[in-house]
Amino acid sequence: MVEAGNQKLLFDAGRGVPVRMRQINVPLAKIDAVFLTHYHSDHTSGIPDLWLSGWLPGAWARRTTPFHLIGPVGAKSLMANLEKAYALDIKIRLEDEKLPPAGIATIVDEFEQDGVIYEKDGVRVIAFTVDHGPAIKPAVGYRIEYNGHSAVISGDTRYNQNVIKFGTDSDVLIH
């Protein structure tokens, strides 16, 4: 998770994300956007829990705005299939618990090429292609910029010129 200004941005959502967010006292509803580096399950298996649990009642959740997922091509398909898989759960909770429909809605943004993919309140996120192996495409890293500072998350990658390019002069490189 990267906190920049008043925003909380999560990069990948593997198993146990809601538990970890609770441990660091970050309510699930306070995550502004989730960014995916690639589609291996260890980077995506926490999405259903994060999305659904973040909508539930309780001080650690109560999302009343759409869940925002951003990733390379494939993010829309992933989320559409999760919506199908959990349709009955969602229907039951809407009827039984009267949870706000806006809190289970999703906004999914996909991108096909390197460049700025998110800009809000002075926070800018730049995606760049990485080499996670010949069959693992798409695979990306991210550079997050805010208030003259930057952090770079390489995602899973082999030696890659883009990590060097986007990591140069960053304050933090997670590789």
46 DSSP 8-state letter: T
Residue 113: band (very low, low, confident or very high) from pLDDT cuts 50, 70, 90:
very high
Please state, in angstroms and as integers, the Cα–Cα distance from residue 170 to each residue in 7, 45, 75, 143, 163, following that order.
19, 29, 27, 8, 11
pLDDT computed for residue 28 by the predictor: 95
pLDDT computed for residue 128 by the predictor: 97
Phi-psi region of 121 (alpha: psi -120 to 50; beta: other; left: phi over 0): left
User: Mean pLDDT, to the nearest integer, of 7-30?
Assistant: 94
Rounded Cα distance between 157 and 37, Å, is: 10
Q: Which residue has the higher pLDDT, 11 or 60?
A: 11
Residue spans per domain, the chain: 2-174
Q: Which residue has the higher pLDDT, 59 or 118?
A: 118
Residue 117: band (very low, low, confident or very high) from pLDDT cuts 50, 70, 90:
very high
Beta strands 33-35 and 7-11, pairing class = parallel
CATH number among 3.30.70.3270, 3.40.50.720, 3.60.15.10, 3.40.50.10490, domain 2-174: 3.60.15.10
Rounded Cα distance between 14 and 156, Å, is: 13
Rounded Cα distance between 55 and 134, Å, is: 37
Residue 167: band (very low, low, confident or very high) from pLDDT cuts 50, 70, 90:
very high
Phi-psi region of 155 (alpha: psi -120 to 50; beta: other; left: phi over 0): left
Residues 6+ apart with CB under 8 A from 70: 33, 34, 35, 36, 108, 109, 110, 111, 117, 118, 125
Diameter of the chain measured on Cα atoms: 52
- pTM: predicted TM-score of the whole model, two decimal places: 0.96
- Residues 14, 45 contacting (CB under 8 angstroms): yes
Instruction: Note the pLDDT tens digit of each residue in 43-83.
Output: 999 999 999 999 999 888 999 999 999 999 999 999 999 99
